[in-house]
Structure 1
Amino acid sequence: MDSWIEVSEKSLEQAIELAAEQLGVDADDLDYEVVEESSKGLFGLGQNRVKLRARVRPCCMEPKPTEIDYTNETAGAEASIADTQAVSEAVMSILQQIMDAAGFDASPRIVSESSEEVQVSIEGDSEDIGKLIGRRGQTLDALQYLVGITANKKSGTRVRVLIDAGGYRARHQAALEQKAREIAEQVKLTGQEAVFEPQSARDRRIVHLALADDPDVYTYSEGEGDERHVVISPKH
């Protein structure tokens, strides 16, 4: 899966989301480069478009079987641990600065660390946590994206950063999976397609995976940009 794909959208963020959905990974797992960025034409007519090339990061793909060099095994593990710790320290520092600057009564803590990802949870005042999460988790997603990029750039590594606040992500995923199953049952009864509201690439992926093994329905995404959504359709 080392091949590149090309996508085009109205903004860089939307193009990244589309590429992530097509490749079946999170945006943090992408390598990408902007191929073309066009602005509105004469008299402000036309649309802004961003075209980019993207692929799954080699470190996030299933590794091919190779012979193990046991002489370098310990050194590699130590380097990996050092990289992860560097990212964790950067993430904690950045998040705490943001909490302090915003005047939030909240603090981050490391939940887990590995050579591939760092998971962080933010706990604190419920009102402040709600502001961090934002509408449909959009603020939390933006925070995770920016902190991940900044921490990796600061530490010179490539580790995925996952940020939760007040246990929102687990609750949201469970609720979304339940809603997907309920709508799927309606589709089976009526034989008619059902359309979800527009969602982020992350939420669309949750719906796709929740119904991936259902023998009676299938899912696909349609629409562009902020209007992209999941459709649940019966298998005839």
Structure 2
Amino acid sequence: MIQGLLYKEWIKTRWALLVLYIVGIAITAYALLTLQRVITLRGAAHLWEILLSKDVLFLNVLQYQPLFTGVILAVTQFAPEMTQKRLKLTLHLPMGQGTIALTMLTYGVGVLGLLCLTQHLMLALYLRSILAPELVTHLLVSIAPWFMAGFTAYGLTALVVLESTWRRRVLYILLSYALVHFYFISTTPRFYQGALLPMGLVTLLLCYVSILSIQRFKEGVQ
């Protein structure tokens, strides 16, 4: 039954995922080309000097891509459940409500994680060929909050979309804006380094916060 539910989620999101993956990989490739252009014009030593002495990452084109990816995926996955009245039928599958909700959300987290992993592998493999390991870590740690924001945006967008009352939707939108803004408070490299672990735990919890909306919907339809 879980396999059938996962397949249903795949059917809903497959075309959006194709576009999101192409865009994510293309933006990552563009960011790497930007670095290569700096090396071609000024040399690798100049790139090292800029990274060490100035608050410049050369990867800013990636900043909001995970955020928009999370939002678009959540809307694609859950909006049809509400607009086409599918959620009521889904919740009546011969499975526990918690299992259904966790399966749907874990699917979204999983496909987001796969794209995130692909982008990080592209970055790490290229950066290791031109930079010292310490600088590779410097860059990857600095952009980690941007990718966490993508997962948070996914969970909070699902919370908003699955909410059945507009008053709570407005409240959740305002709350979501405040929470997502936290990931972009500073553009200083490694600003969040000491807080990455607790941020990661909070992000994981927020990925599944829409279970609250599903619970409220279930109680409402019953």
Same fold (TM over 0.5): no
TMscore range, shorter length:
under 0.3
If the length of structure 1 is used for normalisation, what is the TM-score?
0.26
TM-score normalized by structure 2?
0.27
